[in-house]
Amino acid sequence: MDVSHILDPLNDAQRRAVTTPPGPVLVLAGAGSGKTRVLTHRIGWLVQAEGISPLQILAVTFTNKASREMRGRIEELLNFPTGGMWMGTFHGICHRLLRMHYQEAGLPETFEIIDSDDQYRLIRRILGELDLDEAYWPPRQLQWAINQHKEEARRAHHLPASDDYHQQTLYRVYASYEEFCQRLGLVDFAEILLRTLELFKNNQTIRETWQKRFRHVLVDEFQDTNTIQYQWLRLLSASSRNLFAVGDDDQSIYGWRGARVENLLTFEKDYPGAEIVRLEQNYRSSGHILAAANAVIARNEDRMGKELWTEAADGNLIRLYGASNEIDEAQFVVGTIESWVEQGNRRDSVAILYRSNAQSRVFEEQLLSAAMPYRVYGGLRFFERAEIKDALGYMRLISNHDSDPSFERIVNLPPRGIGNRTLEKIREYSRTQQISMWQAASQVISQELLPARAAGAVGAFLKLISEMTAQTEDNSLEDLTDHVLNTSGLLEHYRKEKSERAQGRVENLEELVSAARNFIPAETDDNELDLLSLFLANAALEAGEGQAEEWEDCVQLMSLHSAKGLEFPLVFLCGMEEGLFPHQRSLEEPGRLEEERRLCYVGMTRAMEQLYLCYAEIRRLYGKDHYTQGSRFLTEVPTANIEEIRSSAISRPLQRGGLRKEEKNSNELQPGKQVRHEKFGEGMVVTLEGQGEHTRVQIHFSEVGTKWIIPAYASLEMI
Ligand code: ATP
Ligand code: MG
């Protein structure tokens, strides 16, 4: 059979990887060097040159999006549909196996997958049953510990006996959690993988069946596999030894979630004689982009070490934009995309990448107002996030006490001792009397239909909401939001938990305060409504609309983590500021900074033709204004590869060796300075634009809010 269509589009090293005789193969190569292409063509080669049936191939990718794209490419290559070929994520594939072998895996046929929130609730229930105080045993930490153990393939009974009370308690909770899940047929995410691994370890027949079935196992993004994933791959390919792995140590970005980049190193030991192929030519990015990415990643000490080169022309310089604040940043990005699209480019050739999901909100706002279709990948849009809906639940209930969905959502969140039995009574009463939950709740209390403790808890909740309602009278929307987050206990609830996810929730909640502060009703809005109702209506609309359909030509927004493996002609890497990227947490833990730098490398190498790096001098994020310092990664880009297209009016051009600003003359207007205006009183300078007598200054006055002032025409006094 003619296989030239499979081999011609490859370079020599790629061709060697694709045509290696059966056996273990490791392709270790940098970004954009064609690893995913090699994996795809290897599948084509196996089918057409080696005569392997597609049914005998298993390909593991990192996301469903990647797997869909890969299937498309293989079908194009083979020119026939590959429906029967197993291709998907670790979780997807293991879940499928568990469904087929539920009995052997010791699960009921109707076993149910629980997400992280369900898991959390279950752990709290167990703490209750074991009579453990949540204040001392934060459920999120226990959840995290349990998942850690599972990811290392350790069951409760594997934990060593210990005299330590803390260890003993963890053991008790873990063991009860396992028992509980087993009894109810519940399977969490880590369990899907662990159960499958155990099934393969313990059941020889099943193991051999699948080993025979999957003669060839291929895995992309191998650097981000964790302990059980690698063990399972090894078991599956133990008899055939046909494991084909591709990866890049410089792109290992999930260390914080248990991924083990060491798997790349152990592969060579585990499979002596394996074919190791290195690819060094990059086909994705133009010269300047690649040179800059190489220079940044070279700062990491802990690397296997490789350098990429390209035949492509230097192309455009990377562009650096210093925005005055996050809104300016978003406006610049959206404006640039508009001209890009006007030049005849597709919208889906553009990606806006950021470190923290909370950053998406400002971009979404600007894209919406520019009527530019967009889609947020991986991670929900801001107003769809659970914690934001929780906070809005409070605000809705304040705005309308009869909102039953809001009542149900928050009545016991954070937990305040209102159990299901109590709620059932209130529901029942509201049904029979045809009144809202709120009204039913106050009536069951006044008619003493609830036991004293439950009545006390419900009464306290009603009082809390009534008090919050009273606060709406003379407070700004921003203050109200802040007040709700604090007095409801929501912020505290998430703050107490130490997990990464809870931290993100706190950040999102604080970002809601920023959203409230910046909220300006559209002119078309019904002016009869109060500001709170308008804000809530806007949130509901934003959650439901605006986002384009998957197939539509739209701008792509995603976190750097979700961008792995993808490529776009035009890329914006936004929020390049110390504390945001690299993230604050990474500055406190050794090793994490290198992971952040790898993330930066991943981000930069997504760009094919043009890369923009953006930072804002002042960023209002998580409800606070931050006077930022440019990311250290910016200073690691060689000057020859970058041009500064705007340093904000008050900043000096980018300095090598750090973006620290010079001490400025203290009599100059500059962000952060306190000033007094004859009419508006005292305030703080937020940003400046223009020069000389055309300078405009944005000032946040404590009494009247934010205003633009032209100092040439107003008397401003420095204080
Ligand atoms: P990442 O590390 O980001 O996942 P990768 O190593 O998987 O990148 P690919 O996505 O496979 O790289 O390839 C990067 C780009 O280079 C793709 O557009 C691909 O089509 C192209 N490419 C790869 N190999 C070749 C080649 N030999 N000739 C021309 N183009 C190529
Ligand atoms: Mg790839």
Among residues 606, 619, 632, 673, the one annotated as catalytic is 606
588/586 Cα distance (integer angstroms): 5
101/95 Cα distance (integer angstroms): 10
Q: Measured between alpha carbons, how far is residue 286 from residues 292, 572, 663 in Å?
A: 10, 15, 38
pLDDT of residue 12: 96
Q: What is the mean pLDDT of the chain?
A: 87
445/437 Cα distance (integer angstroms): 12
What H or E segment, with its residue span, contains residue 247? strand 243-247
Runs of H (alpha helix) within 219-260 = 227-236
Res. 652 pLDDT band, cuts 50 70 90:
very low
Is-contact 709 697, C-beta < 8 A?
yes
> CA-CA-CA-CA torsion for 407, 412, 416, 422, nearest 10 degrees?
80
Torsion region of 167: left, alpha or beta (phi above 0 gives left; psi -120 to 50 gives alpha): alpha
| pLDDT reading at 621 higher than 80 | no
**Under 8 Å CB-to-CB from 174, ≥6 apart: which residues?**
142, 145, 146, 149, 156, 159
Nearest atom (ligand 1) to Cα of 605 = 3
Residue 73 CA, ligand 1 centroid: distance in Å: 13
- Mean pLDDT for 320-326 is 93
Q: 363 forms bridges with which residues in the sheet?
A: none
Per-residue pLDDT tens digits for 414-447 = 999 998 889 989 988 988 998 989 999 999 999 9
Report how far Cα 421 is from the mean position of its chain's Cα atoms: 36
pTM: 0.72
- In the numeric block, which tokens belong to residue 256? 């914080």
**Ligand 1: does its nearest atom lie under 6 Å from the Cβ of 33?**
yes
pLDDT of residue 527: 52
- Fill in the amino acid letter for 19: T
Is-contact 635 341, C-beta < 8 A?
no
Is-contact 196 98, C-beta < 8 A?
yes
Backbone angles phi, psi at 444, to 5 degrees: -65, -30
**Ligand 1: does its nearest atom lie under 6 Å from the Cβ of 10?**
yes
**Ligand 1: does its nearest atom lie under 6 Å from the Cβ of 283?**
yes
Q: Where are the beta strands (DSSP E) in 248-406?
A: 275-279, 318-325, 350-354, 374-377
**Ligand 1: does its nearest atom lie under 6 Å from the Cβ of 225?**
no
**Closest residue CA from atom 11 of ligand 1:** 34
- Mean pLDDT for 3-27 is 95
- In the numeric block, which tokens belong to residue 527? 């002016």
pLDDT of residue 665: 38
Among residues 188, 191, 220, 567, the one annotated as catalytic is 220
pLDDT of residue 193: 93
| pLDDT reading at 497 higher than 80 | no
- Mean pLDDT for 629-634 is 93
Whose structure tokens read 């889609």?
375
**Under 8 Å CB-to-CB from 653, ≥6 apart: which residues?**
644, 647
DSSP string covering 573-607: E---BTBBTTBHHHHHSTTHHHHHHHHHHHHHTTE
Nearest atom (ligand 1) to Cα of 606 = 3
- Mean pLDDT for 476-493 is 92
**Ligand 1: does its nearest atom lie under 6 Å from the Cβ of 69?**
no
Nearest atom (ligand 1) to Cα of 251 = 2
Nearest atom (ligand 1) to Cα of 39 = 11
- In the numeric block, which tokens belong to residue 541? 């609309």
Is-contact 696 674, C-beta < 8 A?
no
Res. 655 pLDDT band, cuts 50 70 90:
very low
**Ligand 1: does its nearest atom lie under 6 Å from the Cβ of 61?**
no
299/644 Cα distance (integer angstroms): 22
359/273 Cα distance (integer angstroms): 47
Residue 281 CA, ligand 1 centroid: distance in Å: 9
Of 2-16, 126-140, 637-651, the range with the lowest mean pLDDT is 637-651
105/114 Cα distance (integer angstroms): 17
- Mean pLDDT for 96-106 is 92
Q: Measured between alpha carbons, how far is residue 377 from residues 64, 162, 198, 564 in Å?
A: 12, 44, 33, 12
Backbone angles phi, psi at 61, to 5 degrees: -120, 180
Residue 220 CA, ligand 2 centroid: distance in Å: 7
pLDDT of residue 338: 96
pLDDT of residue 663: 33
With the most atoms of ligand 1 within 8 angstroms of its CB, the residue from 7, 27, 76, 284 to mutate is 284
**Ligand 1: does its nearest atom lie under 6 Å from the Cβ of 42?**
no
**Ligand 1: does its nearest atom lie under 6 Å from the Cβ of 11?**
yes
**Ligand 1: does its nearest atom lie under 6 Å from the Cβ of 250?**
no
For residue 54, cis peptide bond before it (omega within 30 degrees of 0) = no
Per-residue pLDDT tens digits for 143-186 = 999 999 999 999 999 998 888 999 999 999 999 999 988 987 88
Is-contact 631 322, C-beta < 8 A?
no
With the most atoms of ligand 1 within 8 angstroms of its CB, the residue from 37, 297, 564 to mutate is 37
Is-contact 359 511, C-beta < 8 A?
no
- Mean pLDDT for 199-221 is 96
**Ligand 1: does its nearest atom lie under 6 Å from the Cβ of 248?**
yes
Give yes or no: 336 in active site. Answer: no
**Ligand 1: does its nearest atom lie under 6 Å from the Cβ of 247?**
no
Among residues 251, 336, 366, 481, the one annotated as catalytic is 251
**Ligand 1: does its nearest atom lie under 6 Å from the Cβ of 34?**
yes
User: Which of 364, 444, 362, 374 is closest to 411 using CA atoms?
Assistant: 444
Q: Is 624 helix (H, G, I), strand (E, B) or coil?
A: strand
Per-residue pLDDT tens digits for 276-309 = 999 999 999 999 999 999 999 999 988 888 889 9
| pLDDT reading at 401 higher than 70 | yes
Residue 61 CA, ligand 2 centroid: distance in Å: 9
Residue 567 CA, ligand 2 centroid: distance in Å: 9
First to last CA, the chain: 83
With the most atoms of ligand 1 within 8 angstroms of its CB, the residue from 7, 10, 33 to mutate is 33
Q: 320 forms bridges with which residues in the sheet?
A: 613, 644
1/112 Cα distance (integer angstroms): 46
132/129 Cα distance (integer angstroms): 8
Report percent pLDDT > 70 for the chain: 90
**Under 8 Å CB-to-CB from 563, ≥6 apart: which residues?**
351, 353, 602, 603, 606
**Under 8 Å CB-to-CB from 396, ≥6 apart: which residues?**
403, 406, 536
| pLDDT reading at 714 higher than 90 | no
Residue 221 CA, ligand 2 centroid: distance in Å: 7
**Closest residue CA from atom 19 of ligand 1:** 34
**Under 8 Å CB-to-CB from 652, ≥6 apart: which residues?**
661, 662
Q: Which ligand lies nearest to the CA atom of residue 564 in the structure?
A: 1
Q: Measured between alpha carbons, how far is residue 462 from residues 406, 445, 449, 466, 600 in Å?
A: 13, 10, 16, 6, 48
Nearest atom (ligand 1) to Cα of 279 = 6
Give yes or no: 196 in active site. Answer: no
- Which pairing describes strands 555-559 and 568-573: parallel, antiparallel, or unpaired? unpaired
Q: What is the largest CA-CA distance in the chain?
A: 86
Give yes or no: 133 in active site. Answer: no
Nearest atom (ligand 1) to Cα of 37 = 11
pLDDT of residue 530: 75
Residue 285 CA, ligand 1 centroid: distance in Å: 10
432/424 Cα distance (integer angstroms): 12
**Closest residue CA from atom 24 of ligand 1:** 34
Give yes or no: 35 in active site. Answer: yes
Res. 203 pLDDT band, cuts 50 70 90:
very high
DSSP string covering 161-209: P-S-HHHHHHHHHHHHHHHHHHHHTEE-HHHHHHHHHHHHHH-HHHHHH
pLDDT of residue 382: 72
Among residues 15, 35, 215, 505, the one annotated as catalytic is 35
Total number of residues shown for the chain? 719
471/487 Cα distance (integer angstroms): 11
Give yes or no: 220 in active site. Answer: yes
455/462 Cα distance (integer angstroms): 11
**Ligand 1: does its nearest atom lie under 6 Å from the Cβ of 32?**
yes
Among residues 151, 188, 191, 221, the one annotated as catalytic is 221
Residue 452 CA, ligand 2 centroid: distance in Å: 61
